[in-house]
Structure 1
């Protein structure tokens, strides 16, 4: 049984529109909403990159039912982990327990802007490990002092935080990250519908915890137009996350994807009005064992129409195909886990 979510993609929508979309998506019946946390869009054509945390505060105040989540925040370079903990605690209070802090090792695209360079993948993983531990300690309460390999924290304390804590979901991509985070995180974020990733997570201590994935779609009444829009705005998706994590700016993504064809994009992203095609696109995640799947509609200006399509056709079809029950709620594990 799967929960279906809506993606508030900051790279293709301005802040006021994102809040309006969040309200509309809740009314349409989506179970949860995730928000990207970018400093730059992937491509110039996308045209937006507002500050996610300001928008999240507004969304938390404007909605009252849907779960909210960052998908995902990098707590290593652009943000110090102590500051991420404070932001997460504040949004969780505004959302009255509906917020999950999604964390990951990030992309050069967003993190290079503070001028600290972009570490190698192994160093980035070390930084994420240390950052997650600091954030979890602060969210647990009390004063925290850390003299770590990558971060220092001096007598920090969160004065406003939920008594029930803030769930932490961590993005994983392979055996090492699964083994590292399955015993301590509250949920898994997966970059692809890999059943071995889910099985490894369960085997490493994450059984019964939520697994959260994301699937782009390019809905529209005209399939050719939907394919063209997906190619113009989402051809970066073809590079895969290992490549996408390394490129430093929109020009790099434009150059790296100049030979990606519209048909290549349409092969990975369902395009057009066919409800069945959009329903089928999430099947790999469901079959792999994901409990939550967030949909990303390509094209900022198409969001209101897509949300109405989801309300009237797509969400009923998804629930008829994959079951009416929601996936497990995202909650903090017992206090001993962090």
Structure 2
């Protein structure tokens, strides 16, 4: 069992994220996962730095902490050939400790260039083609690369700066189509929930023996009531259906939807507690669902305190 720390780009500026990564490594976390957003979910969180710049900063303050994008969409806002370039550079700065996590995206981030937002089957199809392009550019060869597919075109491209060992690609999945793609094309699975079905499909589609990552959203505070208030203030999206979060286009829409969330609803969806054992039990629930890498997303401003709590009381449970 490996326990990771979530670098929440929707909640913190890039220098804070760099600082948290350093502290997480010192605390003994096994990896860190960083979100890749153009917009935050709601304006209350108020941040959304460019992930590739932030990763460069993290590379300079950590020595051994693996970093995974959780997750990058290589299909709309940024062409897969550019993601291949960015990820190869990141992997060169984080040798043998960078993982490219990819997914089919959210409309919130991907509509900014005026792209239409297609159905899930089309987005999964686009993701498969994007992954093919990324791998082809990484593997390269002596000549320049040309590719003309159904969705993308690459002309006379070659990535010169690459790490000695190419990074793995993990694929985010909640439903059957994405989990099947993850098993077929991915080196690992990423999920946002303790989704046993996604693990089963992933393994049956070629993912047996590959790592399964999940993100557990938590909120620790010295006072449980304050933890609930914080979770509702900063992460009301946890009350929404996954498909809604995928399709809604703007922070304004998410803020209107957040007005329907209550403390009772959010406390059902997020473990809000002052007791470390409650958070340990939540981690074990994800492990029981089949996940061997669990990333802890602490909601709200108490990041330093949460990292110290993990160092002193939570991580030891899983060493």
Q: TM-score, normalised by structure 2?
A: 0.96
Aligned to 2:136: 137
Q: Against the structure 1 CA distance between its residues 165 and 79, is the aligned structure 2 distance closer, same or farther, given a 3 Å change threshold? A: same
Aligned to 1:43: 42
1:194-273 to 2 correspondences below 5 Å: 194-273=195-274
Residues 218 and 297 of structure 1 are in contact (CA less than 8 Å); yes or no, is this contact kept in structure 2? yes
Q: What secondary structure sits across from 1:86 in the alignment?
A: helix
Unpaired runs of at least 5, structure 2? none
Using the TM superposition, name which of 96-105 and 175-184 deviates more: 175-184
1:303-325 C-alpha deviation (Å, 9 max, x unpaired):
111111111112123x1xxxx3x
Structure with higher RCO (Cα < 8 A, 6+ apart): 1
Once residues 286 and 273 of structure 2 are traced to their aligned partners in structure 1, the CA distance between those partners, rounded to angstroms, is 21
Residues 6 and 25 of structure 1 are in contact (CA less than 8 Å); yes or no, is this contact kept in structure 2? yes
1:218-257 C-alpha deviation (Å, 9 max, x unpaired):
1110111110000011111111321101111111111123
Q: What secondary structure sits across from 1:111 in the alignment?
A: helix
Aligned to 1:70: 69
Using the TM superposition, name which of 200-209 and 139-148 deviates more: 139-148
Unpaired runs of at least 5, structure 1? 325-338
Q: What secondary structure sits across from 2:185 in the alignment?
A: coil
Question: By how many angstroms is 1:203 displaced?
Answer: 1.6
1:65-104 to 2 correspondences below 5 Å: 65-104=64-103
1:132-156 C-alpha deviation (Å, 9 max, x unpaired):
1101111222232111111110021
Residues 99 and 170 of structure 2 are in contact (CA less than 8 Å); yes or no, is this contact kept in structure 1? yes
Q: Find out whether 1:161 has 2:162 as its counterpart.
A: yes
Once residues 296 and 59 of structure 2 are traced to their aligned partners in structure 1, the CA distance between those partners, rounded to angstroms, is 19
Q: Report the RMSD for the aligned CA atoms in angstroms.
A: 1.2
Once residues 139 and 315 of structure 2 are traced to their aligned partners in structure 1, the CA distance between those partners, rounded to angstroms, is 36
Q: Find out whether 1:307 has 2:293 as its counterpart.
A: no
Aligned to 1:297: 298
Once residues 47 and 181 of structure 2 are traced to their aligned partners in structure 1, the CA distance between those partners, rounded to angstroms, is 34
Q: What secondary structure sits across from 1:243 in the alignment?
A: helix
Q: Find out whether 1:148 has 2:149 as its counterpart.
A: yes
Q: Against the structure 1 CA distance between its residues 121 and 183, is the aligned structure 2 distance closer, same or farther, given a 3 Å change threshold? A: closer
